[in-house]
Structure 1
């Protein structure tokens, strides 16, 4: 049944829409609060690759450490976005331009010297496997020790939890890995 005041809109749709708006409005107001921390997909800040690079080339990855999101563009211009973990502190965060120099299908892990200094209980080496903090795949950046990698610890995604790397859910790094050739341009902001 259509109402006279809302042509083309069913009364039930109008009532459901108003009810949904009332439920969502408080969260919208909270999200607009400058002091709030947003950890869900609605908190992602979208970027245009053209604002950072001159051409798509082999593809582009932009990882935004503030909104904790990774955006990937393929050579044909398709864009994908994923939630990430980011470095624990600004001192551990490296920003700027780099590129993918190696694709590791079964990453092993050796903690960096600074990681061992902060936590001497870390193992000297860990082979690939379910306990490895680099997850199921890793993309090595041209900066020593820095990676975009998976993680088995899903609690880390959306948080400041890494020692410098950008972490993705294992199922997401599999997708990014498969679409990313060596030489892909990367920018961490």
Structure 2
């Protein structure tokens, strides 16, 4: 069996990512995005940790979390918005946390697809998954997804999606007031 240089680099980066965040397995589909596996420094984005900070890297398709204790760090593969027009970049913060969120399509989503339901209750058919961190920007969330094929690729209308098991862990770590930057 022959091995490509890229395959070797991806396998090596996946191994390093497992060491950097041993509590989380990196699924095979996400291993293709080597840059998502590289740890970044929170100081490049924030002046202080406060209660914690999150950097959602839309190019690398990764969410980085640092706790206010200066010791806690987590790295999660993510989905990102499908187009630059739907991608909002900059600073925001967690303003609300919801376990079992309901989903309401935005007015622009309903305009594009009038057949969308007005509201989807919590459960397996809900696009927000099991947990959601509501951001200060209207309609923007960091949330879970029941459709695991979305992680590691552009697939949302503006939100940052995580595997349900990852958003459940981030949900317990991130407090209301956690500063967030989308880059």
Trace 1:88-127 onto structure 2 (pairs within 5 A): 88-127=82-121
Q: Unpaired runs of 5+ in structure 2? A: 12-28
* Rg comparison, structure with higher value: 1
State the SS of the aligned residue for 1:46. Answer: coil
1:172 paired to 2:176: no
The Cα shift of 1:39 comes to: 4.2
The Cα shift of 1:117 comes to: 1.2
Alpha-carbon spacing, 1:90–1:26, altered in 2? closer, same or farther (3 Å): closer
What's 1:42 paired with? Answer: 34
Question: TM-score scaled by structure 1?
Answer: 0.80
Moved more, 92-101 or 122-131: 122-131
The Cα shift of 1:181 comes to: 0.6
State the SS of the aligned residue for 2:104. Answer: coil
Q: Unpaired runs of 5+ in structure 1? A: 1-18, 32-37
The Cα shift of 1:175 comes to: 0.3
What's 1:70 paired with? Answer: 63
The Cα shift of 1:149 comes to: 0.2
CA deviation map 1:144-177 (0-9, x unaligned): 0000000000010011000000000000000000
Aligned-partner Cα distance in 2 for 1:24–1:188: 33
Q: What is the aligned counterpart of 1:141 among 130, 135, 141?
A: 135
The Cα shift of 1:46 comes to: 2.9
Alpha-carbon spacing, 1:105–1:26, altered in 2? closer, same or farther (3 Å): closer
Alpha-carbon spacing, 1:60–1:29, altered in 2? closer, same or farther (3 Å): closer
Off by >4 Å, runs of 4+ in structure 1? 28-31
What's 2:3 paired with? Answer: 23
Question: TM-score scaled by structure 2?
Answer: 0.83
Q: What is the aligned counterpart of 1:131 among 125, 130, 133?
A: 125
Equivalent pair of 2:30/2:151 in contact (CA under 8 Å): no
What's 2:150 paired with? Answer: 156
| Count of matched residue pairs | 163
What's 1:54 paired with? Answer: 47
